[in-house]
Amino acid sequence: MTTHWFEGPLAAFDTETTGVDVEGDRIVSAALVVQDTAGARPRVTRWLVNPGIPVPAEAIAVHGLTDDHLQRNGRWPAPVMEELARALAEQVASGRPLVVMNAPFDLTILDRELRRHRASTLGTYLASAPLCVLDPRVLDKHLDRYRKGRRTLTDLCAHYEVELAGAHDAAADAAAAMELVRAVARRFSSRLERLSPAELHTLQAVWHAAQARGLQAWFTRQGTPETVDPAWPLRPELRTAA
C-alpha cells in the first residue's frame, strides 16, 4: 500500500516576534520541528534571540518573552539567522516539505532579518533545491472556503481537533501546524492525494493570490485602507522610496 505524502516526512517552522510588521519587526524565538512519519517522535530545535531592541508590551502579552529574559538567555541575531536559514535549507535539500502557518509572515521576516544581519537573503540559502511549502491556512481556506469564522492557528486546531499545547510558543505552534496539515489533508484526501507536495506548492501560490484579491475587495468595500499582499510563500523586498 502506498503511503500518502501527508503521512510521511514533514518539517515545520515557526517564529515569535516583536510585532506583525515583517519589514521592521524582529524575531525573538524560532523553532524547527522534524517528523519522519505521522505519529513518530518529533525532533525539535529551538532558538532564542536577543533582538537588540525593546520588545513591545503587546508582543510580550502574546508570547511572554520579556526584554530581561531575552537579554539574559537570547543570542545575538546574526549567528541565529544564519543557523535558521541553514536549518531550513537542510530540510529543503532533503526533499522534506516545510510546513509554515501563514508562510508569507514567517519566511518574509526571516528573509528581512538575514538582509539586516547577514547582508544575505533567504533565497540565497534555499537556492540549491526547489522550495516546497505547505501552509495550513491557505489549504484550509481553499478547501473549505465557505466556512464562517476565523482561521487562526488556534481556530484551525479546534476545528480539525488538533492538540495545541502552549499556543504562541514557537515549537508548540510549529508542531501543531504540522499536525494541522496532516489533518486537513486526511479530511480532503480525495482532492489532495493525487497531488504531490511540489504541485501543491505551486497551487497554493495561486490560491493565496486569489484569497488576497478577495480580501482586498472586501476591505475596499468596507472603506478600509488596508492592503493585502498576494505574494506567497515569500513577499518580495519593498523598493526603498526615492
Cβ atoms within 10 Å, residue 105: 20
Instruction: State which residues form the domain around 40.
Output: 5-194
C-alpha span between 60 and 58 (Å, rounded): 5
Q: Which residue has the higher pLDDT, 71 or 218?
A: 71
Q: Angle between the 153-160 and 136-143 helix axes, to the nearest 10 degrees?
A: 60
Residue 119 domain-assigned? Answer: yes
Strand-strand pairing, 43-48 and 10-17: unpaired
Q: pTM value?
A: 0.95
Residue pointed to by grid coordinates 502506498 = 2
Domain count along the chain = 1
- Residue pLDDT, tens place only, 120-134: 999 999 999 999 999
Give the C-alpha distances (Å, rounded to integers) separating 205 from 65, 103, 121: 33, 11, 20
pLDDT at 241: 41
Residue 71 domain-assigned? Answer: yes
Dihedral sign, Cα of residue 216, residue 62, residue 123, residue 13:
negative
Confidence of residue 167 (pLDDT cuts 50, 70, 90): confident
Buried b (16+ CB within 10 A) or exposed e, 132-170: bbbbbbbbbbbeeeeeeeebebeebbebbebebeeebbb
pLDDT at 226: 84
- HSE, CB side, 13 Å, CA atoms: give it for residue 66: 3
Strand order in the sheet with 98-99: 43-48, 27-35, 10-17, 98-99, 133-134
Residue 230 domain-assigned? Answer: no
Residue 140 domain-assigned? Answer: yes
Residue 228 domain-assigned? Answer: no
Residue 201 domain-assigned? Answer: no
Confidence of residue 242 (pLDDT cuts 50, 70, 90): very low
Q: What mean pLDDT comes out for the span 57-75?
A: 97
Does residue 20 carry a pLDDT above 60? yes
Q: How buried is 208 (Cβ within 10 angstroms: 0-12 exposed, 13-18 middle, 19+ buried)?
A: buried
Q: Which CATH number is 80's domain given?
A: 3.30.420.10
pLDDT at 2: 60
C-alpha span between 182 and 188 (Å, rounded): 10
Q: How buried is 23 (Cβ within 10 angstroms: 0-12 exposed, 13-18 middle, 19+ buried)?
A: exposed
- Residue pLDDT, tens place only, 87-101: 999 999 999 999 999
Does residue 169 carry a pLDDT above 70? yes
Asked whether 230 and 162 are in contact (CB, 8 A), the reply is no
pLDDT at 57: 97
Q: What mean pLDDT comes out for the span 163-171?
A: 91
Q: What is the largest CA-CA distance in the chain?
A: 59
Residue 104 domain-assigned? Answer: yes
Residue 185 domain-assigned? Answer: yes
